[in-house]
Amino acid sequence: MLKYTIKRVLMLIPTIIGITLFIYLIMSLVPGDPAELLSPPEATAAEVQALRVEMGLDKPILVQYLNYMWDILHGDFGVSWFTQQPVADEILHRMPYTLTLGVYSTIIASLISIPLGTLTAVKHNTWIDYVLTFLCLVFAAMPNFWLGIILQINLSLNTGWLPAYGMGTPAHYVLPVIAVCASSVANNIRSTRTWVLDVIRSDYVRTARAKGASEFVVIMKHALRNALLPIITGFGSSFAGVLGGSVVIETVFAIPGISTYLTSAVKTRDMPIIMGSILVISVFVGVVNLLVDLMYSVIDPRVKYE
Amino acid sequence: MEKLLEIKNLKVQYNTDEAVVYALNDFSLDLNKGEILGVVGETGAGKTTMALSIMKLLPEHVAEVTGGNITYNGQDVFKMSKKELRALRGAEISMIFQDPMTSLNPVMTVGDQINEVLKIHHPDMSKQTRAEKVAEILTLVGIPPERGAQFPHQFSGGMKQRVVIAMALVAEPNLLLADEPTTALDVTIQAQILMLMKELQKKFGTSMILITHDLGIVAEFCENVAVVYGGEVIERGSVEQVFARTKNHPYTDSLFKCIPDLTTDATRLTPIPGFVLDSRTAPVGCPFAERCQKATERCVQVKPSIHYVEDGHYIKCHLYENEVGK
């Protein structure tokens, strides 16, 4: 198990090299010259060229990339091209907000969708199932920014119950967490239903019933634990989704998270910010996937990592 | 002899999207205390449906009981409350399933799975007594007790079936339903498992219904035999009476002809013509009429009733309607 964990951590290195190289190449293919963008309009061609040399942009792309990675290895994430702010500081400041949002919404989504998904599976083809399935479809189809705005209007603007935007107190997290959760709850209820239904029809669940076990024990002890594996995988990917993909939510609720940082940098082609943010996000996604894999072996004795 | 189980005119159908499948049609069967009854029939004859009906374990929503009743020890199984049913399952009646590969929970140790039966039916039993009982039953089925801490995937097929048997017997039930317990196993293991079951049946004095499609197993293992075709019992008698082959239902007769006989020179077996009954049409007449070489117009239209040909040996066939047995 320890050996496997170490191996998986080491495997993160080529993954991250692959991701960063790919992003670096893509960004360098975008037309336009950063040195010209950064120079004042009255700058002469010589001045622009001097800036280009200073930023290292006159070198071949691969050399630029290697230089960047060399700096990263020394813990230097560089400074923003536009604001001259150190990227590492900014990421350290912003990452906690995004992480908290991700952790809260994943925990809450699992607390809601596993029980409800199991319920719809147990009561499949009854009115409970139909009503919940309908609600799931509605919430899965609802764009989260729209839901966010509706929540702001009704729970904040009109009633004053919760803060509409910004960060600071736990209350600030309520609305964004709901907005992020809604669709992931809807999707996870549906997938939990499928997996539990699959297990409920299996022979060993029939064996459990034949033993005289109560329906509660049959479902909780025998069915759910067997269905948990694919369900957890689903939550792992929803968590990864929040880390890199909550731009809209962060914008709507004015959360100073990493997603907004990254997207605004993409607009200005601020390479150090883009590269640094993506690097940190990919490390977190890799770690979450590793944790999910390690949980498999805790849940299912058949899974053994060598 | 005292009756333990009585199935009377049981009708069960499966309602699927495509069709209605008539699994059991007027299925009647009695079982005395201490009896070992073999239930023989082809795939799809309704054997498993019968076993699941006895424990009221038929798949909900799909299976529908449209008539008849099952009485266990004087109690109507279909009228039992959920609580009464749970007390019945595992403690009074237990079941050994066909496929040991899939009938054990893969994420629980086998010891825990056996222990669970005791936990359900003897909640006041101390933890230590339960552990002792589990170790005891594991030893009885030939598994070293320390393997109770292992998971099903660490056992071979035959060993898994031993675990299933241990689980079925640990609460010392009065009736054991064994649904093709050896079909999924290697031939070499089959004999071992059957011997074990016979041994334990004697030890606990359990009544037993052994469902199989193998006449050899019935001859070896059972006292009495019921032949099932098209969801009803078409012949019932002691193993001696049925295997004497003097008076048999034409279907039973053709089943015997499908077994290779090494004492004669015959080089060919006689297969039964036609196919297993398509149970998607509501049954009229004798279910075997279509494949029976002795069938008349009457067999197709009128359902034969029970005719006793000997004491305790009845055949459901028009051929025997003039017989005067009891």
**Shortest CA distance from B82: residue in chain A:** A214
Give the number of beta-carbon pairs within 8 Å between A and B.
75
Residues of B in contact with A201 (CB under 8 A): 59
Residue A306: which pLDDT band, with cuts at 50, 70 and 90? low
> Is B209's pLDDT higher than 70?
yes
Query: Nearest-CA distance from A231 to chain B in Å?
Result: 16
Judge: A207–B61 Cβ closer than 8 Å, yes or no.
Answer: no
Q: Which domain holds residue A95?
A: 87-299
Length of chain B: 326
Q: Which chain A residues have a beta carbon less than 8 Å from that of B99?
A: 203
Question: Is the CB of B103 inside 8 Å of chain A's CB atoms?
Answer: yes
Closest chain B residue by Cα to residue A201: B59
Instruction: Give the tens place of pLDDT for each residue, B277-296.
Output: 677 777 788 888 888 888 88
Here the tokens at position A91 are 């990421």
Whether residue B119 lies inside any domain: the answer is no
In a domain? residue A60: no
Supply the mean pLDDT for chain A: 88
In a domain, B151, yes or no: no
> Residue B260 pLDDT more than 80?
no
The ipTM (two decimal places) reads 0.86
For residue A301, the distance in angstroms to the closest alpha carbon of chain B comes to: 6
Mean per-residue pLDDT, A210-217: 91
Closest CA to A240 of A273, A283, A277: A283
Count how many domains chain B has: 1
Considering the domain boundaries, does residue A123 fall inside one? Answer: yes
User: Rounded distance, CA B262 to CA B195, Å?
Assistant: 24
**pLDDT of res. B2:** 81
* pLDDT surpassing 60 at residue B325: no
In a domain, A249, yes or no: yes
Tens-digit pLDDT profile for residues B141-182: 889 999 999 999 999 988 999 999 999 989 989 999 999 888
Please count the CA atoms within 13 angstroms of the CA of B6 that sit on its side-chain side.
10
Residue B233: the pLDDT is 92
For residue A22, being part of any structural domain is answered with: no
Give B54's contacts in chain A (Cβ within 8 Å): none
Q: Is B117 an 8 Å CB contact of chain A?
A: yes
Residue B301 lies in a domain: yes
- Partner B contacted by A123 (CB < 8 A): no
Classify residue B231 as exposed, middle or buried by CB count within 10 Å of its CB (0-12, 13-18, 19+).
Answer: buried
Determine whether the interchain pair B107/A213 forms a contact, defined as Cβ–Cβ distance below 8 Å. no
- Domain assignment of residue A31, yes or no: no
Average pLDDT estimate for B100-128: 93
Query: In which band, very low, low, confident or very high, does the pLDDT at B93 lie, cut at 50, 70 and 90?
Result: very high
pLDDT value for A54: 82
Q: What percent of chain B has pLDDT over 70?
A: 97
Contact of A125 with chain B, judged by CB distance below 8 Å, is answered with yes
What is the number of structural domains in chain A?
1
The answer to whether residue B306 sits within a structural domain is yes
pLDDT confidence of A57, banded at 50, 70, 90? confident
- The tokens 């009803």 sit on which residue? B232
**Full domain range(s) for residue B263:** 32-59+76-92+173-320
Dist. CA A105–CA A156, nearest whole Å: 20
Residue A206: its chain B contacts at CB < 8 A?
Answer: 57, 97, 103
Q: What angle do CA B27, B94, B122 make, to 5 degrees?
A: 140
> Among all chains, which residue has been given the structure tokens 């020394």?
A74
Q: What is the pLDDT of residue A236?
A: 87
pTM: 0.82
User: Is the Cβ pair A301, B153 closer than 8 Å?
Assistant: yes
The DSSP element (H or E) to which A27 belongs, if any, is: helix A2-29
The pLDDT value given to residue B50: 93
Is B102 within 8 Å of A302 when comparing Cβ atoms?
Answer: no
Looking at the complex, report in whole angstroms how far the Cα of residue A105 sits from the nearest Cα belonging to chain B.
29
Mean pLDDT of B312-320: 89
pLDDT score for B266: 64
Question: Which whole number is the average pLDDT over B251-263?
Answer: 82
Q: Say whether residue B86 is in contact with chain A using an 8 A CB cutoff.
A: yes
Q: Over 90: is that where the pLDDT of B116 sits?
A: yes
CB of B183 less than 8 A from some CB of A: no
Q: Does B137 touch chain A (CB under 8 A)?
A: no
CB nearest to B117's CB, from A203, A211, A300: A211
- B55 in contact with A, Cβ within 8 Å: yes
Interface test with B, best of A201, A207, A209, A226 (most B CBs within 10 A): A207
Q: What is the CATH number of the domain that holds B186?
A: 3.40.50.300
Q: What is the pLDDT of residue A159?
A: 87
CB of A126 within 8 Å of any CB in chain B?
no
Exposure of B185 by Cβ count < 10 A (0-12 exposed, 13-18 middle, 19+ buried)? Answer: buried
Reply yes or no on whether the pLDDT at A244 is more than 80. Answer: no
The pLDDT value recorded for residue B80 is 92
Predicted pLDDT at B326: 52
Nearest to B137 by CA among B171, B177, B109, B105: B171
CATH number assigned to the domain comprising residue A106 = 1.10.3720.10
Is A122 part of the contact surface with chain B (CB cutoff 8 Å)? Answer: no
- Residues with Cβ within 8 Å of B248's Cβ and at least 6 positions away in sequence, in order, are B235, B242, B256, B315
In this predicted structure, the answer to whether residue B324 has a pLDDT above a threshold of 70 is no
Q: Which residue of A has its CA nearest to B59?
A: A201
The pLDDT-based confidence of A240 (bands split at 50, 70, 90) is: confident
| pLDDT tens digits along A92-133 | 999 999 999 999 999 999 999 999 999 999 998 899 999 999
